[in-house]
Amino acid sequence: MEANQKMLDAVRWVSGTGCVIGIFIFCLSFFVSDYNRDYILTAVGMAITLSAAAIFLVGIFFVLTEEMVMNTHKGERVEPETTKIIKIKTKAKTKRRRVSI
């Protein structure tokens, strides 16, 4: 995880700044009605906030994907600790033919 720390910090900084700016614009336009006659700034504030959240999710996805790829090249098998895999050894039952009387 240390290798991806710079990318994670950059994604966190960009998305955090976008969220703060978007929430500020949204609150300004929502509570101060002189700035927002057509509700344009409300939509802009919501769009900036949602796009910052999307940037954060995509950045986290890329960091996690790269981490998984780096671990699988080493030959390490990555299994979640919370799942319990139950192996069931059963033989398939053969279908019996119906005999008409």
Grade residue 84 by pLDDT with cuts at 50, 70 and 90.
low
Place of tokens 């960091």: 63
DSSP class per residue in 26-46: HHHHHH-TTS-SSSHHHHHHH
pLDDT (0 to 100) of residue 6: 87
Choice between 10 and 33, residue whose per-residue pLDDT is larger: 10
Place of tokens 């600790």: 81
Q: At what angle do helices 5-31 and 40-73 cross, to 10 degrees?
A: 170
C-alpha 66/C-alpha 13 separation (Å) is: 20
When the pLDDT of each residue in the chain is averaged and rounded to a whole number, the result is 81
Grade residue 52 by pLDDT with cuts at 50, 70 and 90.
very high
* DSSP category for residue 60: H
The reported pTM is 0.63
**Within a 10 A sphere around the Cβ of 84, how many other Cβ atoms?**
6
